[in-house]
Amino acid sequence: MTSYSWAPGFVAGDRPRIVTSRFEFEDSFTLERYLATGGYAGLRAAIARPAAEVHEEVRSSTLLGRGGAGFPAGVKWGLTPEGVFPRYLVVNGDESEPGTYKDRLLMERDPHQLIEGCLIACYAAGLSRCFLYIRGEMALAQERMATALNDAYAAGYIGKNILGSDFSVDIVLHWGAGAYVVGEETALIESLEGNRGMPRLKPPYFPAAIGLYGKPTIVNNVETLSNLPWIATNGAAAYTAIGTESSPGTRMVAVSGHVKRPGVYEIVNGTTTFRDLLYGEEFCQGIRDDNELKAFVPGGGSAPWFLPDQLDLPFEGRLVGAAGSMLGSGAIMVMDSTTDIPAAALTLTRFYAHESCGKCVPCREGGTWLMRILERVVEGQGTTEDLDLLLEVGGSICPGSMPHAASAELGLEATPFPYRMTTICFVGPSAYVPVHSAITLFPSEFAERVAPARVRTRIPVTAVGSAQ
Amino acid sequence: MARFNDANLTTAHEIIARYPRPKSALIPLLHLAQEQNGYVTDEAMRQIAELVGVTPAEVLGTGSFYEMFRFEPTGRYLINICGTMSCALMGARELLHAAERSLGIHAGGTTPDGLFTLHQAECQAACTEAPCLQVNYRYRFKMTPEGVEQLIDDLRAGKLDDEIPPHGTLARVRQHIPSDRAVGAVDPDDVVGPPAWIPVTVEGAGS
């Protein structure tokens, strides 16, 4: 249980470490330290074997994608159509889900681990060029990655005939310019092609089949790839020995908000419970000022909210899905009893409304409507009709039943994840999720806030302010 | 004077050569232009269009999608104060008010001396260190209203110039791919067959 001044936010503990094993060293980002701590051993081990074997090793490790969807990486690599080349690797380092940060730390603190992960992925899946897309606002991560790439090229780990083998690949550093939606993989590809970052329709644009420049493309998250050097060095069996069968290994989780010790923790996957994380001595040590817990967001800003009722769930995708939410990008945001729930929901809805790319009407229009109506409610100008209107507008983005948590107090049973959606990507639904969670789980906070509907008080939402 | 200087033009050509299709270099080149001039000028967009083989309107079309590109003169220091959930829960609004008071401008504005531009920004991926802000994309964690005032004084006095370059400069280290190590970018339509380390199957198609 230690923090390091050179890794603000990260808290080490007495637990298995896979991706943060070098964070204790101040110079963990240098090639010298990386090599002195077993660096590039995974790459050497990988290229000594046939590519198909390395792919199989990763498949049997059941390494789950860490970007949000949790799809197994080894299976994803196998989705490229047979015999179609070139194939590309695009690294998703555009981390911007509210509450989330782990990729930034991994890039700042251990850039060579990510590079080695990229190389192993390229080798195993026959990917001949790698583009490392880093969020534009992360200046330090870009500097660290650029330095590491330059050093790794000079030392012969990247480029032509890597370590004297017939394996050759370039890694190109690319950086974004501020657009949340670009974290969606098809939008990321559009952006990498020099276009506005708008998601593509799936089907037919599944990146593994039709991706960058229309060629098969694997898009993997930074944390996912950062696990590969360890797996290549220690083997899939050692990896699956940590965590649970459905969720092996470890995960980076950021816990923020009203806890005593917010932090980024590498936890054992699948077994650690939310109660451990929020109250455990090793983790957040309880709610600030010993207040009561009111609610928490379990998986990044897009995830439906949980109540204290759900504290004993483990951090495991299927169980959390059945309970009405998702693990997403591994970010928990905690609200204590002093929290103004409608105002808290507004901070998230405003985010997603702001980040809509404008391609799908339900998101472009609906997100802004949700934001405006909620603003009115938060400011005390709303009526009971507004609450119905919020659900009606949300229903045009997510028709049918919405996932939500169970509440003993309200007599609510859980509705499992996921929702249905009328948009191409998750930005639109994500604007509605906090509104729906807040109204469903805290109806009285809204009821107190609004006046009874008056006759003909349906105020046109467009009358308030401009489109921005 | 808004076109790339010689050094940046060389850098621009290097960047373009890394991509199988030149238009992919569009966003990196817009950053390069913003680094040179503090914002993206019309002249820069015309030159980028020539360099990557699209129209200037396409350059603006792409560039205007992304928040970080500024198309008008911007303060030497761009202060982005996060207002998303974790920071909002921990007092982001007070930071914004302190900055507005101290600078005498509202969020979205630039001070008359051209030193500061202030924005309310969205999640900056430092949620456990809330409330946080960035100056030219350099972090300040766990800020207080007093800390914001001090920061503005220090910036105005030039005390942080070593750490915080002028607006437009992101990474101060650039990637450099040595020519003797580079595999090189190939037009995707010119690629036939699998890469060298993937065995060719009986049908000759690769696995």
The alpha carbon of residue A192 and the mean position of all alpha carbons in its chain are separated, in whole angstroms, by 19
CA A331, CA A318: separation in Å to the nearest integer? 17
Q: What total number of domains does chain A contain? A: 3
**Which domain CATH number covers A125?**
3.40.50.11540
Residue B162's alpha-carbon distances to A339, B38, B172, in angstroms, are 40, 17, 11
**Which domain CATH number covers B139?**
3.40.30.10
Whether residue A330 is contained in a domain is answered as: yes
Which of these, A299, A73, A295, A300, lies nearest to A180 by C-alpha position? A300
Contact B84 A143 (CB under 8 A): no
DSSP designation for A453? P
* Contact indicator for A446, A346 with CB cutoff of 8 Å: no
- Which of A126, A177, A192 lies closest to B24 in CB terms? A192
The count of other CB atoms within 10 Å of the CB of residue A3 is 14
What distance in Å separates residue A227's CA from the closest CA in chain B? 21
User: Which residues constitute the domain of residue B83?
Assistant: 77-156
**Residue type present at position A465:** G
CA A87, CA B104: separation in Å to the nearest integer? 53
* pLDDT for the residue numbered A68: 83
* pLDDT for the residue numbered B204: 43
**Residue type present at position A418:** P
Residues B58 and B120 in one domain: no
* pLDDT for the residue numbered B200: 78
Residues A256 and A376 in one domain: no
* pLDDT for the residue numbered B1: 53
Residues of chain A with pLDDT under 70: 454-468
CA A394, CA A420: separation in Å to the nearest integer? 11
DSSP designation for A266? E
* pLDDT for the residue numbered A452: 86
Residues whose CB falls within 8 Å of the CB of residue A133, separated by 6 or more in sequence, listed in order: A90, A91, A92, A93, A94, A174, A175, A176, A182, A188, A191, A192
B9's tokens: 């033009």
Residues A205 and A255 in one domain: no
Q: How many CA atoms lie within 13 A of A440 on its CB side?
A: 26
B7 touches chain A (CB under 8 A): no
What distance in Å separates residue B108's CA from the closest CA in chain A? 12
Window B:25-84, CB contacts with A under 8 Å: 25-28, 30-31, 52, 54, 61-63, 65-69, 80, 83-84
> Is residue B206 predicted with pLDDT exceeding 70?
no
**Residue type present at position A313:** L
- Which of B23, B30, B84 lies closest to A98 in CB terms? B84
| Residue after which a domain boundary falls, among A215, A240, A265 | A240
Q: Is the ipTM of this complex over 0.90?
A: yes
User: What digits encode the pLDDT tens for the residues B9-36?
Assistant: 999 999 999 999 999 999 999 999 999 9
Contact B61 A123 (CB under 8 A): no
Grouping H, G, I as helix, E, B as strand and the rest as coil, residue B140 is strand
* pLDDT for the residue numbered A456: 54
User: What digits encode the pLDDT tens for the residues A188-225?
Assistant: 999 999 999 999 999 999 999 999 999 999 999 999 99
Which of these, B86, B165, B97, B171, lies nearest to B122 by C-alpha position? B86
> Is residue B4 predicted with pLDDT exceeding 60?
yes
DSSP states of A194-208 = TS---PPPTTT--TT
Residues A83 and A224 in one domain: yes
* pLDDT for the residue numbered B202: 52
Contact B182 A160 (CB under 8 A): yes
Task: Write out the H or E segment, with its range, that includes residue A390.
Answer: helix A384-397
> Is residue B192 predicted with pLDDT exceeding 90?
no
C-alpha angle with apex A285: A268 to A307, nearest 5 degrees? 80
CA B131, CA B144: separation in Å to the nearest integer? 8
CA B69, CA B33: separation in Å to the nearest integer? 10
User: Which residues constitute the domain of residue A67?
Assistant: 18-240
What distance in Å separates residue B34's CA from the closest CA in chain A? 11
Q: Which residue(s) pair with A134 in the sheet? A: A93, A175
With beta carbons under 8 A apart, name residues in chain B contacting A95: 125
Cα four-point dihedral sign A461, B122, A284, A66: positive
With beta carbons under 8 A apart, name residues in chain A contacting B181: 153-154, 156, 158-160
Stated length of chain B: 207
* Contact indicator for A265, A252 with CB cutoff of 8 Å: yes
* pLDDT for the residue numbered B205: 45
Residues A55 and A109 in one domain: yes
A3 touches chain B (CB under 8 A): no
Residues B94 and B128 in one domain: yes
